[in-house]
Amino acid sequence: MRPTGLGIAVLAAWLALAVAACGNQGIAPIGPSGGQATPAPGGVVRDYDLVAVPAVVELKPGLKVQAWTYNGTSPGPQLTGVVGDLLVVRLHNLLPVGTTLHFHGLDVPNGEDGVAGITQDAVPPNTTATYSFRLTQAGTYWYHSHQDSSVQVDRGLYGALIVRPRGSSPAGVDQVLIYGDWSLGLEAATPPAPSDVLMRSYVTTSVNGLTGDAIRPVAVTAGQPVRLRLINTGHTIRYLQFPLPVTIAAMDGHELSGGPPTTEAIPLGPAERVDVTFTAPSSAFSIQLVDGFLPDAYAAVPVQPAGATGPAIPAPANHGVLDLLAYPARAADNPWPDGTAPNKTFSMTLSEQAMGAMPGMAMDGVQYQIDGEVFPATPTLHVTYGDRVEITFVNRGSLVHSMHLHGHFFRVLARDALPLPGALVKDTVEVAPGHSVTIGFLADNPGVWMIHCHQLIHAAGGMMALLAYDGAPRLAQLGGAFGNSPD
């Protein structure tokens, strides 16, 4: 099946035929639930169809990968809305396996969270599921599969979701740059099994689905305000170097103020978003990756002012790395004003244990543990509506872990028990080996929610846990007729 270039209408028609042909198998899957049906007063309905479908994607001339896509492209279409709008997304599954949609960073009603085995069943092949909820938070978010996510996100099932504040239109240039990575195995006509080492050899970095010289320049006009929304959908921290000072305007969608411009390389962890702002200069430059990995040079993004003449702004010879958690800016929507005391505190100890590849083990033969256990044996954090919850992630392993909480945003309160200079609000936070990070949030969104590492192979290897509200039903179970497996 090679639907590249086919219209959405054709795909949807296929789906209708496929559904008619295969009929009903008897057990109805549990779908998304509990969402709203109408926009807030003054809002509109934003209606999208996403067809999850295999497609051959060309990352640059001559480099093709066997991707899984939304509507034939990876990233999938950008979803956009305004606070107060109703987002309606119909997911049509033309993959050979079950899938879901998760809206990363949005505090949706629990039943709309798209986590297979926790909030719904995986959407079976040749069926459709509809997600519907109000947009309540402005900012840079993204969507991705949350069924077998370490495989499905790796193959390309993700896209950007941008929510704008009510009553403001963006001035100047406002553009998304999605950093993804592709494994060597996907270049084969028939990709090997996910456990094959080729499938973990991430040799190509793409920006908005293109690599090398195929990456599209950002077009600007000298003097214009520019906002670039950087999203990392890949599996490792990337370091992005701008050769001119930029301001960190938002992290994980949460708008910041008071932060100084920086020329240091910006760390962008798995699933994290950083919005940078600057005034367009009159000379061209490029945004470089400075990870020190082989693909770096092939993922530079040119920024091209109209009519620029003269030499490009050179990349700095040396660079420092920005300490993101120490960035002294304050989020407007801080859920944890200074002086707030928790009434519930938890700690979660992160570690890894090499086991050697064994059947049923993580794909890389490592157990990624929370408090010495792997999911679903990891401890569940029990909270009550209204709790002020503090969690300390203690990393006793040797790898960075990118801890993500569903359903809530949090303030990053402390690192190694020392308070941080800013008031940063995030949904995913990097915890370096040998360090601890403390977060605080309000328990104001009842349900059963995931907490997990967003290096998805670590999640698949066990580094996941649940946050459960007293009295909230768990909407779906692992395994079962639909093979539910969130990681």
- Residue identified by tokens 């919005």 is 275
| Residue 186 engages ligand C2O in binding (rule: CB under 6 A) | no
Neighbours of 46 (CB within 10 A): 17
| Residue 268 engages Cu ion in binding (rule: CB under 5 A) | no
| CA 416/CA 436 separation, integer angstroms | 5
| Residue 401 engages ligand C2O in binding (rule: CB under 6 A) | no
Nearest to 472 by CA among 449, 438, 441, 439: 449
SS3 159: strand
| Residue 273 engages ligand C2O in binding (rule: CB under 6 A) | no
Neighbours of 10 (CB within 10 A): 12
Comparing CB distances to ligand C2O, the nearer of 401 and 404 is: 404
From 198-206, 249-257, 288-296, 400-408, span contacting Cu ion (CB under 5 A)? 400-408
Return the one option of Cu ion, ligand C2O, none that residue 401 interacts with (CB less than 5 to 8 A, by type): Cu ion
Return the one option of Cu ion, ligand C2O, none that residue 455 interacts with (CB less than 5 to 8 A, by type): Cu ion
- Residues 415-434 within binding reach of ligand C2O (CB under 6 A): none
SS3 214: helix
From 112-120, 337-345, 420-428, 449-457, span contacting Cu ion (CB under 5 A)? 449-457
Among 92, 134, 146, 401, binds Cu ion (CB under 5 A): 401
| CA 58/CA 78 separation, integer angstroms | 19
SS3 414: strand
User: Both tokens of residue 391?
Assistant: 């969690």
Among 406, 408, 426, 458, binds ligand C2O (CB under 6 A): 406
Among 404, 411, 415, 458, binds ligand C2O (CB under 6 A): 404
| Residue 452 engages ligand C2O in binding (rule: CB under 6 A) | yes
**Helical H segments across 147-238, by residue range:** 149-152
Among 50, 271, 280, 303, binds ligand C2O (CB under 6 A): 271
Q: How many CA atoms lie within 13 A of 326 on its CB side?
A: 7
State the number of binding residues for ligand C2O (CB under 6 A): 10
Return the one option of Cu ion, ligand C2O, none that residue 452 interacts with (CB less than 5 to 8 A, by type): ligand C2O
Among 94, 98, 104, 482, binds ligand C2O (CB under 6 A): 104
| Residue 235 engages ligand C2O in binding (rule: CB under 6 A) | no
| Residue 450 engages ligand C2O in binding (rule: CB under 6 A) | yes
Residue 346, amino acid = F
Return the one option of ligand C2O, Cu ion, none that residue 476 interacts with (CB less than 5 to 8 A, by type): none
What does the DSSP 8-state code read for residue 62? Answer: T
Comparing CB distances to ligand C2O, the nearer of 183 and 402 is: 402
From 58-66, 211-219, 294-302, 397-405, span contacting Cu ion (CB under 5 A)? 397-405
Return the one option of Cu ion, ligand C2O, none that residue 453 interacts with (CB less than 5 to 8 A, by type): Cu ion
State the number of binding residues for Cu ion (CB under 5 A): 4
User: Both tokens of residue 25?
Assistant: 């198998």
How open is the CA angle 443-254-461, to the nearest 5 degrees? 65
Per-state percent for the chain, helix, strand, coil, to nearest 5? 10, 40, 50
Residues 312/288, Cβ–Cβ less than 8 Å: no
| Residue 102 engages ligand C2O in binding (rule: CB under 6 A) | yes
Neighbours of 326 (CB within 10 A): 11
Please state the closest distance from residue 102 (CB atom) to ligand C2O, in A. Answer: 5
User: Both tokens of residue 340?
Assistant: 């707030």
| Residue 155 engages Cu ion in binding (rule: CB under 5 A) | no
From 12-20, 68-76, 145-153, 450-458, span contacting Cu ion (CB under 5 A)? 450-458
User: Both tokens of residue 325?
Assistant: 């958690």
Residue nearest to ligand C2O (CB): 104
| CA 466/CA 449 separation, integer angstroms | 6
Comparing CB distances to ligand C2O, the nearer of 231 and 437 is: 231
Beta 139-144 vs 86-93: how paired, if at all?
Answer: unpaired
| Residue 207 engages ligand C2O in binding (rule: CB under 6 A) | no
How open is the CA angle 322-324-327, to the nearest 5 degrees? 95
| Residue 458 engages Cu ion in binding (rule: CB under 5 A) | yes
Alpha carbon 409 to its chain's center: 14
| CA 428/CA 228 separation, integer angstroms | 19
Residues in the chain: 487
Residue 446, amino acid = P
Binding mask 279-298 toward ligand C2O (x if CB under 6 A, else -) reads --------------------
Question: Binding residues for ligand C2O, per CB under 6 A?
Answer: 102, 104, 144, 146, 271, 404, 406, 450, 452, 454
Q: What residues line the site for Cu ion (CB under 5 A)?
A: 401, 453, 455, 458
